[in-house]
Amino acid sequence: MATDSPVKCRRLEGKVALVTAATAGIGLATAERLAQEGASVYICSRKAKNVDDTVAALRSRGLEVAGCACHVGSAEQRRALVEACVQRYGGIDILVSNAAVNPGAGPLADTPPDVIDKILDINIKAAVLLVQEALPHLLRRPGASIVFVSSVTAFNPPEPIAMYAISKTALLGLTKGLAAELGPRGVRVNCVAPGIVPTKFSAALVETPELAAQQAETTMLKRLGRPQEQAAAIAYLVSPDAAYVTGETLVVSGGMHSRL
């Protein structure tokens, strides 16, 4: 859980951040980084025990973190999540939409309807609806910001995860559309597209040393990424340092191909 080196900047003092799917991988690293920079961070995940364990671990290090269980595909649970965050910390300045699923792999032409439905429901629909739920609170806070977590695979969806990758392509468009709508209302909207980061979610891509080496070779830096590197990019985008940045997707992939 520890970062590579101590974080000394405190760009997010007094801010409240809501981070979904934040008990492992990139979401956990993001929650940790935002809290280290001074934010009060509210996290969620589907399993209450994972949330409780993560909150306890981060609070034991002096970070201001709370959270609750939430399945982002449930309207009732999304509403309860936002209400719990606001009740705990008084508002929301930052929303990091990180939750995603990939329930199946294989050729697009053979992808079952139920797999398509679940990917679209969680990776796109729930992301839009969570923004709708949080937006009244974001609009009350000067300098409010939204970040979607996409993927470098969004630019060139590969088999066998093409359906998942296409859902991440949609987030690039969602970022542009919402940024145009919400910019005049004072809310910035950006996106991060991580490269291959060894986490539980991406385990299939790096499950053997040979596969991991193949993935590393696709980067210009010849190595895989770390969750903390994605978290640093997200922290920049939600900070005052990015006050004139909106509608952008920041690719953090070690130089992998990233053009539509």
Residues annotated as catalytic are 164
Q: In a 3-state reduction of DSSP, which class is residue 156?
A: coil
Distance CA 36, CA 17 (A): 12
Residue 25, phi-psi category: left (phi > 0), alpha (psi -120 to 50), beta (remainder): left
DSSP state for residue 122 in the 8-state scheme: I
Distance CA 162, CA 17 (A): 31
13: nearest Cα among 140, 143, 133: 143
**Distances in whole angstroms, Cα of residue 161 to Cα of each of 104, 128, 154, 204:** 8, 22, 10, 10
For the chain, helix (H) and strand (E) counts, in that order, are 8, 7
Q: Under a CB-based contact definition with an 8 Å cutoff, are residues 91 and 145 in contact?
A: no
